[in-house]
């Protein structure tokens, strides 16, 4: 959305001498109203989302307190309309808007406001810019919009429950073994940061794990191992849902529906598909091709808008956004277009000097469960050069080693080493020893927690089944909505 709409609104409010406030929002805040409510620390009722509808007479805007649901029959009556459907993505584009960012005012269409909004001291809503919230007196708002007032909402406990259980963040890791430093820094650290602020689902994606060769006798244990690593690293089962993907079969059902909205040729072009094809030439299966569609279904199943993943997953997120866009265009506004949440470790390089740290590349990784000696041995094996003085290598194992120094010992230490390399030369033995210590220092508390968890795998399993039960319920809501919108028999 262009900032000019916010400026137009600011100008209009200034001219009318209406008291108001534009509150700055973080750029990574998801577009849904609940995220705004949480961030602003206001009551759900005080948030006033503006919903755009298409009627046979044109577009209209409806405003209500967020703790209530619109009764579309009543709204139709108030607006004198025979037909009422959600505005399409194209409608929003024509108004110069992005979905999820509809402003409280400033659109040249009729406004309808539910009378409960007037009970508020202040209303909070869209401002015409993603990074600002508009706070305004509801009486002034209604006046400036020349809004038609009416009663067209119902407050149900079901509505507020739905709001409370709304998921905003989704991410997952394949069940291919233990987590390594790449998974930890690129993804899990982001999971932990986000669980403080948002409703999150963190999954172990075992359905994705079977798209490349795997051992059926190990799959279940590998799944549990990733969960154990999640919990040891700091995921909190009170704050986040931990999902075993195959326990929520709705992922597969939604993936099938969404697959009909995406061309095969685009999937064949994706870098991860090409890499895996080259790596496992005898195992090129339909599941592998379908991998990004299933990933899109994972995220969209819960309508999550923020996805903490490493930079390698960006092409898959682009597919997810395209699929969401295609669905919304064909069947009406349903899914948000999710974005990546990046951490400082969004790309952890391989110890071998080539590419990223990866489970499938032997010698490239350090696991979260590696002990001090193993870490020391792995770091010792990193191939180094004479250590300068001279020009600093931009890629390869020395550059990767210094990147790890930056991630575990801080930018300053890494910069110091880089300068020394250029001016007087560095001694790798000391650097490697300090780096190994720093890595182990970060991993030690994780490993201690893991030992305790391992004493009671039954409890962890029970939690997973509990969480799956709740998640299946949430997931079914989306599947039902999608089936209805796609016109299936009911």
- Residues of the shown chain interacting with ligand TYM in the complex, contacts defined by CB under 6 A: 170-174, 182-183, 186-187, 205, 208, 295, 298-299, 307, 309-310, 312-313, 316, 345-348, 356-358
Instruction: Name the residue with the smallest CB distance to ligand TYM.
Output: 186
Nearest distance, CB of residue 351 and ligand TYM, angstroms: 11
Nearest distance, CB of residue 296 and ligand TYM, angstroms: 8
Nearer residue to ligand TYM within complex by CB, 44 or 311: 311
Nearest distance, CB of residue 443 and ligand TYM, angstroms: 16
Nearest distance, CB of residue 460 and ligand TYM, angstroms: 19
Nearest distance, CB of residue 258 and ligand TYM, angstroms: 13
CA distances in angstroms from 264 to 188, 253, 292, 335, 439, listed in the order given: 31, 18, 11, 22, 42
Nearest distance, CB of residue 304 and ligand TYM, angstroms: 8
Nearest distance, CB of residue 446 and ligand TYM, angstroms: 16
Nearer residue to ligand TYM within complex by CB, 21 or 268: 268
Nearer residue to ligand TYM within complex by CB, 123 or 301: 301
Nearest distance, CB of residue 424 and ligand TYM, angstroms: 32
């Amino acid at each position: 959305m262009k900032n000019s709409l916010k400026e137009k609104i600011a100008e209009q409010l200034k001219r009318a001498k209406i008291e108001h406030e534009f509150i700055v929002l973080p750029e990574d805040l998801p577009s849904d109203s609940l995220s705004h409510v949480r961030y602003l620390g206001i009551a759900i009722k005080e948030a006033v989302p503006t919903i755009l509808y298409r009627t046979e007479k044109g577009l209209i805007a409806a405003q209500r307190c967020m703790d209530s649901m619109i009764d579309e029959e009543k709204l139709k009556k108030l607006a004198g309309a025979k037909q009422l459907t959600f505005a399409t993505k194209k409608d929003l584009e024509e108004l110069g808007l992005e979905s999820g960012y509809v402003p409280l005012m400033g659109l040249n269409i009729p406004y309808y406001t539910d009378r409960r909004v007037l009970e508020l001291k202040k209303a909070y809503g869209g401002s015409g810019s993603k990074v600002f919230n508009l706070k305004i007196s509801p009486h002034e708002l209604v006046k400036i919009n020349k809004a038609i007032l009416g009663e067209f909402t119902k407050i149900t406990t079901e509505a507020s429950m739905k709001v409370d259980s709304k998921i905003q963040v989704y991410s997952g890791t394949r069940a291919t073994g233990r987590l390594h430093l790449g998974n930890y820094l690129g993804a899990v650290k982001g999971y932990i940061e986000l669980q403080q602020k948002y409703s999150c689902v963190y999954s172990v994606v075992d359905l994705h794990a079977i798209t490349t060769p795997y051992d059926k006798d190990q799959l279940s244990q590998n799944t549990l191992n990733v969960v154990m690593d999640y919990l040891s690293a700091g995921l909190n089962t009170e704050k986040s849902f931990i999902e075993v993907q195959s326990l929520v079969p709705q992922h597969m059902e939604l993936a099938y529906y969404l697959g009909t909205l995406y061309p095969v040729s685009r999937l064949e072009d994706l870098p991860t598909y090409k890499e895996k094809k080259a790596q496992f030439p005898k195992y090129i299966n339909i599941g592998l091709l379908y991998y990004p569609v299933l990933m899109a279904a994972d995220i969209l199943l819960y309508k999550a808008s923020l996805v903490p993943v490493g930079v390698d997953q960006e092409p898959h997120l682009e597919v997810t956004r395209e699929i969401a866009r295609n669905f919304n265009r064909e069947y009406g506004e349903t899914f948000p277009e999710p974005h990546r949440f990046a951490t400082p470790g969004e790309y952890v390089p391989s110890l071998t000097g080539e590419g990223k740290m990866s489970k499938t590349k032997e010698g490239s990784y350090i696991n979260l469960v590696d002990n001090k000696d193993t870490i020391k041995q792995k770091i010792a094996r990193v191939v180094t050069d004479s250590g300068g003085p001279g020009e600093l290598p931009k890629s390869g194992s020395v550059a990767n080693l210094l990147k790890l120094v930056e991630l575990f010992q801080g930018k300053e230490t890494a910069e110091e080493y880089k300068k020394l390399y250029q001016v007087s030369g560095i001694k790798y033995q000391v650097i490697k020893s300090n780096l190994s210590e720093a890595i182990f220092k970060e991993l030690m508390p994780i490993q201690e927690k893991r030992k305790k968890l391992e004493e009671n795998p039954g409890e962890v399993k029970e939690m997973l089944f509990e969480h799956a039960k709740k998640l299946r319920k949430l997931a079914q809501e989306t599947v039902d909505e999608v089936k209805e919108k796609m016109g299936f028999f009911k």
